[in-house]
Structure 1
Amino acid sequence: MKKNILTISSMVLALGAMVTSCTKDFTKINTDPNTTPYAEANQLLAPALVNTLTYNQLRNRNYNNELMQVTVDMNDGEGMVFRYDVRASLADYLYNGWYAQLTNFKDIYKIASDPKRANTALQGISLICQSWVYSMLTDTYGDVPYFQSNLARDSGILEPRFDKQKDIYMDIFSKLEQANTLLKSAGNINAASDPVYKGNAQNWRKFGNSLYLRLLLRVSGKAEVTDTCVKKILQITGSAANYPVFTSNAESAVLRWTGSAPYASPLIAVREQDYRSPAIASFFIDNLNKWNDPRIDIPTYGVSGINRWGIAPASGVFAGVPSGYSAVENPVKKAYFYSTTSARTLQNDSLTGILMNYAELQFIMAELAARSWITGSAETYFTNAVDASIKYWIPAWSKDVKTYLAEGDIEWDNSGTLEDKLEQIHLQKYYALFMVDLEQWFEYRRTGHPVLPKGAGLKNNGEMPSRSIYPVYVQSTNPTNYKKAVAEQGEDRISTKVWWQKP
């Protein structure tokens, strides 16, 4: 018996020695010296951009375009966006998607700030992308979690507070300042990891400063920040060396879809019959017809029924459906966005992944000049903007832009009031913002331009929705902060104006 006990004890001791031997330096032995256990910052950039643009393009199609009279979903059921009848469930998609990608963009900054892996270019790019996404979030919903958002994993904050839109914007401006400084002397990044600029850090810097101007103008109507915004606008527009911005279409911030994963346009996933289902709205198509606009000029490609923006006539003519029509009316569908495997059509187009384009910047400059906030000719900026907008889609367009404007009776008129000039600018800017997330809607809410016709079937007292409501689940998952946000901003309704819209 004693012998057996001694034998068992010896076996236990031997086993213990073996376990100790096996686990000694376990982590070191089982770590591949040729790889890293952490994701690299540049590995996160492309997926975050692709995912963000996927959310943007799908909601551009079925939300922005319906509100802004690009398309009309001819259905007489409930929840028709073109009638300003917005289902509560529509709120979740962008809210969830944008916050998910903010985690990735923030991780890029965190990793690129590690002294062992420091990369100032990626830090700057991360701050620009965060600013871009946060601006869309707050412009869509109003007050949102900002300073405490995306901290559940690292700080255990599961119920972040909602921050005031003004405070969010001021910090976005700070982020864009930091990005401009970080990128000033930064080297390029890995081209394969950057589907927008192929690693060119200085082009990212130009996008950051162009975005800066977009956002400064957006909140400049608030009297409490007007002077601050105008001062910063003057500083940016007055110093190309310190604040470079877009100078051509080639520098536009665009993720060019190749048609192959992971860079296949999200619109490819939309079934062909669904893609062509919404009718083209009268407002959108009638102007293009009147101007003889080359973006819907069939002879440009010599293909019947197909053109640069993929618009096909349903009755042999290019005509649209009036938006906002009532349920008792019965308009006839006359045009729609065409869907085919042809790379020429919108669904498969490499140019639709737009973050911000050069034409938009030129329209911003035209408005700044019209308001006399900067020197320079509003007419020149306006003319350049129209030219850039058309050539973005049709690079080979050779017609003189002034001739095009004159023939369409839309050349610059400097004799009108400021409101007249804003209507000229924003009518053309509306087309330059085609396919750009929710920017048409944001700009209409800011300016009231271009003037859109109002149908008899509009809900919400006939007023353009001012925001999206918060996702319903937020009321139960973050009840205390949700209630504080509603008490501060106003009722959680689509009619409640956000900070920069309020007088």
Structure 2
Amino acid sequence: MKKTFTIIAMALLCIVAISSCKKDFVDINTDPNGTPNALPQQLLAPALVNTVSINMLRSRNFNNELMQVTVDPGDAEGKVFRYDIRRSFADNTWNGWYTQLTNFKDMYTVASQELTYNKTYMGISLICQSWLYSLLTDTYGDVPYFDSNKGKDGNFTPKFDKQKDIYLDIFKKLESADTLLSAAANVSGGSDPVFNGNALKWRKFGNSLYLRLLMRLSGKADVSAACIAKIKEIVDTNPTAYPIMTSNDDAAILRWTGVGALTSPFIGGVREQDWRALAISSFFIDNLNRWADPRLTTNRWGIAAYQGSYAGIPSGYAPGEGQATKSYFLSTTSTTTGTLMNDPLIGNIMNYSELQFILAEAAAKGWVSGDAKTYYNNGVLTGITLWVPLFNTSIDTYLAGGDIAWDNSASLDEKMETIHLQKYYSMFYTDFEQWFEYRRTGHPILPKGNGLRNNGVMPARLPYPVYVQSANPDNYKTAVAAQGPDEISTQVWWQKP
């Protein structure tokens, strides 16, 4: 009797476990927090806050470790700075991004209906969908796209789409968004924590995002010519049809006010001791020291001094070769000055400085008619003044003092290093953009410690969440067969020769 009871109990546990796995996948496709009766103005702010919160937390403990902003010292397994990445790291962004896509898609559906028709919310939705899908495919490669988020229709096993097809459809979405917003009115500022309901600023962000993504594919042979032609059209040929950001005032930043839902996820989400636990890397801090960068000299980023100055530790070291923490980012209770823990600007989506460096690269390669030096100088200047508005030193003086002035006689590769080293700092805490751009360009050149895993090669992607293998096995196997092994070393489509 006891043996029979044990068998029944074990069987019930297996059923519960299998149901739980299936339930996770269904929840991601249906968003358990959503409601089919919500209005667009009710969906936008929560979706933006949740998405930016996910990005900030993962930028802190994943991107920053890979890209030598910080080092999580220790000899234990699973240290990201050593390219030793646990498979569970994949779950958070996958689950969070797909959940918020449901909200952005619902926003479009409701805004397109006759009684609630609103071009502005439709355009904003398409931009936000494009942004999230680009994050997903740049992180994982081939992912569910055309069939994703259809749990309400009973599709809990969406097929994985090829990255090329995803990108080409994202471009269509951004074209549609530009058209919709070209004739759209402003909406309620209370519904929009990024641009306060300003339709033109959303349009500028959408087209600036378009340039970011076109640049990402610009080196891929089968689409390169079309991407370069589109970049030229947006910047040179038909700029009135594609307005882009023109100043820091146009930056897409979710500014944390500290009131209600607009409270940084770092408040309460990251303990004070966790801030002290992450050392700043030598690469990150040494450049700022050498340039006498005002983001450091004014301590705008809230960095703890070490023996009267700022100092970092090397990244990528082998177990047993680490150094004690020196400088680190301060927590809000450690200083009376502003810190990243509660900074209004840390919710960055895309800023004007990043756009200027995109244009500098395009000009350096001869794709647009502008002057690469002008774009570069403006990118450096606005990257600083975003954080230090009172900076009034001549940009030429600053660049000369740091030995980082533009050199027209330099090789293209040297120019790319010059641009992308500065772009690295302009994309500080911008989701995974530093990682994406390094994978695309190989810049800036990062020092490599002798403790790196993955043969010392920067990870090319995150693996798919483990539960997807059991919840959507057939489509998972098809994706892996097409893309390559589900490992961090497998390059995504736009990285492959």
TM-score, normalised to structure 1's length?
0.90
1:135-214 mapped onto 2 (5 Å cutoff):
135-153=134-152, 155-214=153-212
In structure 2, the partner of 1:444 is 438
Give the letter for the 2:314 counterpart.
P
Of the three residues 313, 321, 332, the one matched with 2:305 is 313
The separation in 2 between residues aligned to 1:462 and 1:39, in whole angstroms, is 48
Residues 150-201 of structure 1, C-alpha deviation per residue, up to 9 Å, x if partnerless?
0011x21110000000000000000000000000010001110000011100
SS at structure 2 position matched to 1:464:
coil
Deviation at 1:268, TM superposition (A): 1.3
Q: Is the 8 A contact 2:302 2:337 kept in 1?
A: no
In structure 2, the partner of 1:60 is 59
Deviation at 1:75, TM superposition (A): 1.6
**Which deviates the most, 60-69 or 413-422?**
413-422
Residues 357-409 of structure 1, C-alpha deviation per residue, up to 9 Å, x if partnerless?
00000000000001101111100000000000000001111111110000011
| 1:74 counterpart = 2:68 | no
The separation in 1 between residues aligned to 2:144 and 2:496, in whole angstroms, is 20
Q: Is the 8 A contact 1:317 1:334 kept in 2?
A: no
| 1:434 counterpart = 2:428 | yes
In structure 1, the partner of 2:386 is 392
The separation in 2 between residues aligned to 1:421 and 1:37, in whole angstroms, is 51
| 1:331 counterpart = 2:331 | no
Give the letter for the 1:454 counterpart.
K
The separation in 2 between residues aligned to 1:473 and 1:261, in whole angstroms, is 34
Deviation at 1:317, TM superposition (A): 2.5
In structure 1, the partner of 2:29 is none
Give the letter for the 1:461 counterpart.
N
| 1:409 counterpart = 2:427 | no
Q: Is the 8 A contact 1:315 1:335 kept in 2?
A: no
Residues 258-305 of structure 1, C-alpha deviation per residue, up to 9 Å, x if partnerless?
0122000111121111122100000000000000011011xx3xxxxx
The separation in 2 between residues aligned to 1:241 and 1:265, in whole angstroms, is 36
Residues 12-44 of structure 1, C-alpha deviation per residue, up to 9 Å, x if partnerless?
xxxxxxxxxxxxxxxxxxxxxxxx992111100
Q: Is the 8 A contact 1:314 1:333 kept in 2?
A: no
Q: Is the 8 A contact 1:69 1:323 kept in 2?
A: yes
Give the letter for the 2:126 counterpart.
L
The separation in 2 between residues aligned to 1:426 and 1:398, in whole angstroms, is 24
Q: Describe the shift of the 1:192–1:464 C-alpha distance in structure 2 as closer, same or farther (beyond 3 A).
A: same
In structure 1, the partner of 2:127 is 128
Residues 243-266 of structure 1, C-alpha deviation per residue, up to 9 Å, x if partnerless?
000000000001100012200011
The separation in 2 between residues aligned to 1:37 and 1:272, in whole angstroms, is 39
The separation in 1 between residues aligned to 2:36 and 2:304, in whole angstroms, is 52
Give the letter for the 1:279 counterpart.
A
Deviation at 1:343, TM superposition (A): 5.9
Mind listing any 5+ residue stretches in structure 1 that lack a counterpart? Answer: 1-35, 301-306
Q: Is the 8 A contact 2:318 2:449 kept in 1?
A: yes
In structure 1, the partner of 2:285 is 285
Q: Is the 8 A contact 2:252 2:348 kept in 1?
A: yes
Deviation at 1:231, TM superposition (A): 1.0
Aligned length: 459
SS at structure 1 position matched to 2:68:
coil
In structure 2, the partner of 1:30 is none
* C-alpha RMSD of matched pairs (Å): 1.1
Residues 439-491 of structure 1, C-alpha deviation per residue, up to 9 Å, x if partnerless?
00000000000000000100000000000000000000000000000000000
The separation in 1 between residues aligned to 2:308 and 2:266, in whole angstroms, is 26
Residues 313-346 of structure 1, C-alpha deviation per residue, up to 9 Å, x if partnerless?
2333211110001112131221100112446111
Percent of paired sites with the same residue: 63
Of the three residues 466, 470, 473, the one matched with 2:467 is 473
Residues 98-120 of structure 1, C-alpha deviation per residue, up to 9 Å, x if partnerless?
00000000000000000111000
Q: Is the 8 A contact 1:159 1:481 kept in 2?
A: yes
The separation in 2 between residues aligned to 1:294 and 1:220, in whole angstroms, is 33
When Rg is computed on C-alpha atoms for both structures, the one with the higher figure is 1
SS at structure 2 position matched to 1:355:
strand
Q: Is the 8 A contact 2:36 2:106 kept in 1?
A: no
